[in-house]
Amino acid sequence: MTELLFILSHPPGASVYAQEAFDAALAGSAFSNIAILFVGAGCLQLIQPKLAVEAHERKDFQRGFKALADYDVHDVYGCEDSFKQFGLHNQALVIQPTLLTRVDISARLKGAQRVLCF
């Protein structure tokens, strides 16, 4: 059972939410079994920056997504509808989340002890 479910819904660079969500997830992984769900514009956080300048402008915290497994974070999900909406199926992504339908997402929400939205 997932104790903490982090929902990331903000795009990178628009605010500090994306970076804060990532930091909170890493901190939470030290204490609980966690899962991360990318929904809506939050799925855009998974796109690899195309230019070094672009990566630098966004502080490139997305490279840290590759280290999630090192922190025992293996449950990383993306909203299938959001991926379709933003055309992410053929994009180069930092990591490949498991895509969930709305029904699957609902089940994950019900199964989590706590849900944190960023």
- Report all structural domains of the chain as residue ranges with CATH numbers, in order of start: 4-117 (3.40.1260.10)
Q: Please tell me whether the overall predicted TM-score, pTM, comes out greater than 0.75 for this model.
A: yes
Q: Convert the pLDDT of each residue in 14-66 to its tens digit.
A: 778 888 999 999 999 998 899 999 999 999 999 987 644 454 455 567 778 98
Q: Convert the pLDDT of each residue in 55-70 to its tens digit.
A: 445 556 777 898 899 9
| 17-21 CB contacts, 8 Å cutoff, 24+ apart | 17/118, 18/42, 18/45, 18/61, 18/118, 19/59, 19/61, 20/118, 21/116, 21/118
Q: Convert the pLDDT of each residue in 73-116 to its tens digit.
A: 999 999 999 999 999 987 889 999 999 999 999 999 999 999 99
